[in-house]
Amino acid sequence: MADASASEVTLTFPDGAQRKVARGTSGLEVAKSISPSLAKRTVAMQLDGALADLADPISRDAAINFVARTDAPALELIRHDAAHVMAEAVQQLWPGTQVTIGPVIENGFYYDFAKAEPFTPEDLPRIEKKMGEIIARNAPFTKEVWSREEAKRYFKDKGELFKVELVDAIPADQDIKIYKQGAWLDLCRGPHMTSTGAIGKAFKLTKFAGAYWRGDSNNPQLQRIYGTAFASQDELDAYVKQIEEAEKRDHRKLGREMDLFHFQEEAPGSIFWHAKGWTLFQTLIAYMRRRQQAAGYMEVNSPDMMEKHFWELSGHWENYGENMFTTTLPDERVFCCKPMNCPGHVQIFKHGLKSYRDLPLKISEFGKVHRYEPSGALHGMLRVRHFTQDDAHIFVTEDQIMRECLAINDLMLSIYGHFGFEDVFIKLSTRPEKRVGSDELWDKAEKALSDVLDEVTKRSNGRVKTAINPGEGAFYGPKLEYVLKDAIGRDWQCGTTQVDFNLAGRLGAFYIDEQSQKRTPVMIHRAMFGSLERFTGILIENFAGHFPLWLSPVQAVVATIVSDADGYAGEVQAALKAAGLRTDIDLRNEKINLKVREHSLEKVPVLLVVGKREAEERKVSIRRLGSDKSQVMGLDEAIAMLRDEAVPPDVAGRV
């Protein structure tokens, strides 16, 4: 440790060079002393890795790094500065609007405003224009530390009541920092770049929305404007392009184009599965059924509806009654559609006396659960009110928790790999404030899951990343959440493993242990796809509809060039079907160009074109989706190739 009273501090530069400067020298002065050009292009600095204002006095020994606006660490500053500039622009355009908070988020920034009149789409370009003016003015960002009273008085006089609340929320040991950009100022913890001009021109406001003050739906609703900014126009253009790419993959759009499913207003949040979509769905279930059977699960089916008192007993009515579908029968008994499968599985466990020798007992079900989700939450197939879980409950002794969780993890990663999801991220959500069960049991369960995480990290050679999500566990136990990264880099949380000491006891389930004593089993809840409906949607977007052959609802289409080939085309289709391939035939009196186009748009992976030549030589011309080339080969050879290719990866033994 350096002597705090020393008059000099030692700075270590990225190249390892060290230099002593007077305590309190600003970063800007250091940069200037090295070279004026360095000072000119530097917009901020990092001290021991932490971003700081370039004008900050340096009061301790530190590793120092000067940050130019094109350096990676500057991106969050560009965005944060842009948020401030947007706030100023809005207040200039609509005086009297209150500003609240404006943080940087994953792909940009937002600022929340309190304004009586809503923003309109036409407002965004106006705000952007005004932002451009403010940036062009290039006023320096300057920081001041105000007293609490001074800050509160200032904001109160200005009518900025939300800011007054924010000042009050700042812990007593922290300074009240004010950043000025010309005449405009904002309460902010910083840091900022040297001046507004450093933001540059590569910014864009993207959307506006309602958002609750402090994220609480009991609070007033503010108006949020989202935007993004990059160091260069090229990066912004690339970002915009990526958004467009995501729109092209939207499962709602592809689902319609590929004739997979539809929605209609009489059944909000419910899917009408068309034949092709249902084929895909059933292919997924068949896959998972094979995997689970191989892993020692026994598949069951529990009632879709049970009497309300049953759900009162399980605790679901109390906690989620408002989100359950209910119906009153002619005999006046009230029934509820199951929102979860677990209570049903406990009944199956309870049927017949269980011994410790029966554990671990793995009960699985492709159960369709019904949850009355808030209307605003519904989103295509990704958030629906009726969905099928690849659900399972593993009844174990406490000693078996760790081993079973590890087995689940192995199965989970293998399954994701088969769908091409190699990039998996696992979050451990630990005990929440509101919970049931003793701390002892929580210790044990969290330890088990954390050991699982360690083991997984070790085995994967760092491929699988993990993190702790403190306080985010379920009220009955900690959980592991599996997050997949798709083909265009988006995260999807799918699988979950949850350890539960509560429900089995609550529903009176027990087993007989080695000492002939009744003991309550621990339940491990787990789902791997999660919601089959949601997973289907994710797959559609991940593959952009271009499914691998084994998943594709229609695997091949036989298309004729001339009607003379119709008979042979029928033979080709019959042979494909006999080989187990899902096949259509297109004998229409149309040009082959049209047929190729239409089946390509429907994203059929394999097109077998037959004309006069193929019919005579018993060959097929194979054209793959996405390719403009075709390959002529003998019929038997083609069928053998496609049959092999269509074998599901688990059956083929591919790891």
Give me the active site residues, please. Answer: 342, 371, 389, 391, 393, 479, 525
365 within 8 A of 341, measured Cβ to Cβ: yes
Beta bridge partners of 524: 394, 499
Site for RNA in 451-510 (CB under 7 A): 474, 498
Question: Which residues, listed in sequence order, are joined to residue 105 by a DSSP beta bridge?
Answer: 108
Number of H helices, E strands in the chain: 21, 33
Q: How far is it, in rounded angstroms, from Cα 502 to Cα 438? A: 10
* Contact pattern from residue 178 through residue 207 relative to RNA, giving x for each residue in contact according to CB under 7 A and a dash for the rest: -----------------------------x
635 binds RNA (CB under 7 A): no
Closest separation between CB of residue 475 and RNA, Å? Answer: 8
Quick check: 628 binds RNA (CB under 7 A)? yes
Stretch that binds RNA, among 77-85, 86-94, 210-218, 440-448 (CB under 7 A): 210-218
Residues 384-423 close enough to bind RNA by CB under 7 A: none
The enclosing H or E element of 446 equals helix 439-459
HSE of 458, CA atoms in CB hemisphere, 13 A:
7
Structure tokens at 104: 């940087």
Q: Quick check: 486 and 425 in contact, CB under 8 A?
A: no
Residue 600 sits in the site that holds RNA (CB under 7 A): yes
Q: Does 538 bind RNA (CB under 7 A)?
A: no
- Does residue number 215 form part of the binding site for RNA (CB under 7 A)? yes
Candidate residues 20, 459, 597, 618; the one interacting with RNA per rule CB under 7 A:
597
Q: Is the Cβ of residue 377 or residue 467 nearer to RNA in the bound state?
A: 377
- Given 103, 210, 296, 471, the residue binding RNA (CB under 7 A): 210
- The SS3 of residue 55 is coil
Q: Which stretch binds RNA (CB under 7 A): 35-43, 229-237, 376-384, 568-576?
A: 376-384
Indicate whether 433 belongs to the interface with RNA (CB under 7 A): no
Which of 212, 356, 425, 510 is the binder for RNA (CB under 7 A)? 212
Place of tokens 């451009």: 132
Please choose, out of 11-19, 53-61, 273-281, 368-376, the segment that lies near RNA by the rule CB under 7 A. 368-376
Window 550 to 579, contacts with RNA (CB under 7 A): 561-564
Per-position x/- string for 264-303, each x denoting binding to RNA as judged by CB under 7 A, each - no binding: -x--xx----------------------------------
- Report which residue type is found at 531: S
Report the alpha-carbon distance of residue 193 to residue 141 in Å, rounded: 7
How many residues of this chain bind RNA (CB under 7 A)? 71
How far is the C-alpha of 623 from the C-alpha of 71, rounded, in Å? 46
Instruction: Label residue 451 exposed, middle or buried (CB < 10 Å: 0-12, 13-18, 19+).
Output: middle
Q: Does 601 bind RNA (CB under 7 A)?
A: yes
Residue 444 to residues 430, 438, 496, 514, Cα–Cα distance (Å): 12, 10, 18, 21
Q: Between 427 and 519, name the residue whose CB sits nearer to RNA.
A: 427
Question: Does 327 engage in binding with RNA (CB under 7 A)?
Answer: no
Report the residue from 286, 294, 329, 377 that binds RNA according to the rule CB under 7 A: 377
Q: Quick check: 618 binds RNA (CB under 7 A)?
A: no
* Site map 577..596 versus RNA, x via CB under 7 A: ------------xxxxxx-x
* Residue where the block lists tokens 């920034």: 109
Q: Both tokens of residue 391?
A: 């659900």
Strand-pairing partners, residue 525, are 393, 498
Binding characters for RNA, 338-367, by CB under 7 A (x = yes): -xx---------------------------
b/e 230-251 (16+ beta carbons within 10 angstroms → b): bbeeeebeebeeeeeeeeebeb
Beta bridge partners of 144: 178
Alpha-carbon radius of gyration of the chain: 31
Select from 111, 611, 638, 642 the one that contacts RNA (CB under 7 A). 611
DSSP 8-class letter at 230: -
Q: Does 330 bind RNA (CB under 7 A)?
A: no
Q: Which of residues 219-258 bind RNA (CB under 7 A)?
A: 221, 223-224, 226, 252, 256
- Tell me the closest approach of the beta carbon of residue 70 to RNA, in angstroms: 28
Q: Which residues contact 106 (CB under 8 A, 6 or more apart)?
A: none
Q: How far is the CB of 547 from RNA (least distance, A)?
A: 14
